[in-house]
């Protein structure tokens, strides 16, 4: 079928893959995955992570892409509703797609703030130089606790994001993804070479990759599950939107494997670019913003005024690219929903998205700076949006998406879309069916229960 066919679609198969991978590759790859890898069994954790990717990430990428490609609808809300009506079910299933829209809004509210911090440090690395170990913590604290500075940088980050989205798929998202993703890999390789050749870096490599199977327990598996969901942007429906723009001969089997593979490769390379150098300089590889904005600047500045300046610019340019490829996808999904629901132009829809995101982004920035003393369920606004998106909306979206494909649309309905009507082989369909109908729902329920502290 060809409802809502778009003249603005991906021009190439590679463009679809780069854009889809870009939606997954983000700031979490640069700090969270390397830390989880090192502190949860090293190489043993990596094995667990790859297995979970095969069970969850690959099938989820495939089923979302297939929904978009089948309907040629770039709004997940209407795509779910249309397929449900095809199967004689209520169009209320569209609420699954709407969960993705809400997730994207909630994530971008706080993600834009962090993206602003990255641009701020990119500016510092170019024109001022990164702070030394003595001042790194105080500089970061001053930057984030200021009233105007983080808000200005957040708005700059959002403006860059919406400018890319205003270009549409071909001239905006595909074009910038084709530039940013290969460049990101090149910058990572350069940083990895520098990091692993530092004296004392081998300790960091061992910390990251030495297998410790005794460390693997239920909590570690859940941590890997949550990271796969978060890192690969599953349960949001971004790939439904991109699938709706994909060419009719797009190889969804290949792309559904490549997206998690590229995302994991970036995360591992990021770990090699960061952790060995942290150990070489005698710092603690702590997780969270502290690693990116306190520890790493201290490490990079210790390289010397010239080399430190070069690698500081390189690293925060890399971080900016990673943040932007993700934020563009987060904007594109709600924009398509607004365009579809209210029949507005892309320009007006992007503007509405920007205004909503900017308003709540300002609140998140004020909350993180300590200037807004307001909490919801015991969390400030910044942490609240992080919690409801990652702990509630994304798992629910993934759970209902798997149930929808497994029991409403049926896994067999995916075959024509992923094989291009029989032109491609799909020999592991039984595995896909098992994952969608049984394994994914069970694993997502585990993530959901863990997020609320019911299991640990």
- Sequence spans of domains, the chain: 13-451
Q: What percent of the chain has pLDDT over 70?
A: 98
The whole-number average pLDDT for the span 123-133 is 92
Partnered with residue 375 across adjacent β-strands are 380
237 burial level (CB within 10 Å; 0-12, 13-18, 19+): buried
pLDDT of residue 347: 96
Using DSSP's 3-state secondary structure scheme, residue 380 falls into strand
Return mean pLDDT, the chain: 91
Q: How confident is the model at residue 379 (pLDDT cuts 50, 70, 90)?
A: very high
H or E stretch covering 376: strand 375-376
- Mean pLDDT confidence for 425-444: 94
**What count of other Cβ atoms lies within 10 Å of the Cβ of residue 286?**
14
Residue 5 in this model has a pLDDT that exceeds 60: no
Pick the range with the lowest mean pLDDT from 126-135, 155-164, 219-228, 402-411: 219-228
Q: What is the largest CA-CA distance in the chain?
A: 67
The whole-angstrom separation of Cα 248 and Cα 245 is 9
> Residue 150 pLDDT more than 50?
yes
Q: Which fold, 13-451?
A: Hydantoin permease (1.10.4160)
Distances (CA, A) of 433 to 71, 99, 378, 429, 439: 21, 24, 40, 6, 9
237 contacts 397 by C-beta, under 8 angstroms: yes
Confidence of residue 2 (pLDDT cuts 50, 70, 90): very low
Lookup: tokens for 456: 């640990």
Which has the higher per-residue pLDDT, 290 or 156?
156
Region 12-22: mean pLDDT is 90
Q: Are 382 and 107 in contact (CB under 8 A)?
A: no
Secondary-structure percent of the chain, ordered helix, strand, coil, rounded to 5: 80, 0, 20
Residues of the chain with pLDDT > 90, as a percent, come to: 73
Does an H or E element contain 290, and which? helix 289-290
Q: What is the mean pLDDT of residues 309-335?
A: 94
Mean pLDDT of all residues in 130-139: 91
Q: What pLDDT score does 410 carry?
A: 96
pLDDT digits (tens, 9 = 90+) for 239-262: 999 999 999 899 999 999 999 999
Chain-centroid distance of CA 415 in Å reads 27
pLDDT-derived band at 315, boundaries 50, 70, 90: very high
Q: Mean pLDDT over residues 69-95, rounded?
A: 95
The pLDDT assigned to 4 comes to 43
Tokens (6 digits) for 120: 């701020």
Q: Which residues fall within 8 angstroms of residue 454, CB to CB, at 6 or more apart?
A: none
- Whether residue 3 is predicted with pLDDT greater than 70 in this model: the reply is no
Residues 159-188: what's their mean pLDDT?
92
Tell me which of 291 and 363 has the higher pLDDT: 363
Interval 166-184 mean pLDDT: 91
Taking residues 105-109, report their average pLDDT.
95
Write down the pLDDT at residue 373: 87
Average pLDDT (150-174) is: 94
pLDDT level of residue 7 (50, 70, 90 thresholds) = low
Residue 1 in this model has a pLDDT that exceeds 70:
no
Averaged pLDDT, 122-141: 92
DSSP H helices, 128-214, are: 136-145, 149-166, 175-196, 202-209
**Cα torsion through 313, 315, 133, 275, rounded to 10:** -160
Is residue 76's pLDDT more than 50?
yes
The mean pLDDT of 348-353, rounded to a whole number, is: 97
User: How much is the average pLDDT of 412-426?
Assistant: 94
Q: How far apart are CA 180 and CA 191, in angstroms?
A: 16
């Amino acid at each position: 079928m060809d409802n809502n066919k778009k003249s603005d679609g991906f021009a190439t198969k590679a463009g679809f893959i780069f854009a889809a991978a870009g939606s997954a590759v983000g700031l979490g790859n640069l700090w969270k995955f390397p830390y989880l890898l090192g502190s949860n069994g090293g190489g043993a954790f990596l094995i667990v992570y790859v297995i979970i990717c095969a069970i969850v990430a690959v099938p989820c990428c495939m089923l979302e892409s297939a929904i978009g490609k089948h309907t040629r609808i770039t709004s997940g809300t209407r795509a779910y509703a249309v397929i449900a009506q095809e199967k004689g079910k209520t169009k209320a299933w569209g609420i699954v797609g709407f969960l993705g829209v809400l997730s994207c809004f909630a994530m971008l509210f706080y993600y834009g703030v962090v993206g602003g911090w990255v641009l701020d440090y990119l500016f510092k690395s170019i024109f001022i130089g990164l702070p030394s170990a003595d001042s790194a913590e105080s500089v970061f604290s001053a930057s984030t606790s200021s009233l105007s500075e983080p808000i200005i940088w957040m708005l700059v980050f959002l403006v860059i994001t919406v400018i890319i989205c205003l270009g549409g798929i071909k001239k905006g998202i595909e074009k910038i993804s084709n530039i940013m993703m290969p460049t990101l890999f090149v910058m990572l390789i350069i940083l990895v070479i520098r990091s692993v050749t530092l004296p004392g870096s081998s300790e960091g490599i061992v910390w990251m990759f030495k297998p410790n199977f005794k460390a693997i327990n239920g909590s570690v598996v859940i941590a890997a599950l949550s990271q796969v969901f978060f890192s690969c942007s599953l349960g949001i429906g971004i790939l439904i939107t991109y699938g709706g723009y994909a060419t009719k001969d797009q190889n969804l089997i290949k792309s559904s494997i490549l997206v998690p593979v590229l995302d994991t490769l970036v995360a591992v390379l990021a770990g090699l670019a960061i952790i060995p150098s942290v150990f070489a300089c005698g710092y603690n590889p702590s997780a969270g913003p502290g690693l990116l904005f306190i520890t790493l600047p201290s490490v990079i500045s210790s390289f010397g005024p010239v080399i430190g300046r070069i690698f500081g610019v390189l690293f925060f340019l890399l971080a900016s690219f990673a943040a932007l490829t993700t934020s563009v996808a987060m904007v594109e999904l709600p924009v398509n929903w607004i365009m579809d629901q209210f029949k507005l132009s892309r320009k007006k829809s992007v503007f509405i998205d920007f205004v909503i995101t900017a308003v709540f982004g300002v609140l998140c920035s004020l909350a993180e700076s300590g200037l807004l003393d307001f909490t919801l369920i015991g969390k400030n606004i910044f942490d609240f949006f992080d919690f409801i998106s990652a702990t509630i909306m994304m798992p629910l979206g993934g759970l209902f998406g798997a149930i929808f494909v497994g029991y409403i649309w049926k896994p067999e309905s995916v075959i024509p879309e992923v094989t291009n009507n029989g032109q491609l082989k799909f020999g592991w369909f039984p595995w896909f069916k098992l994952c969608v109908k049984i394994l994914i729902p069970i694993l997502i329920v585990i993530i959901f229960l863990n997020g609320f502290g019911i299991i640990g």
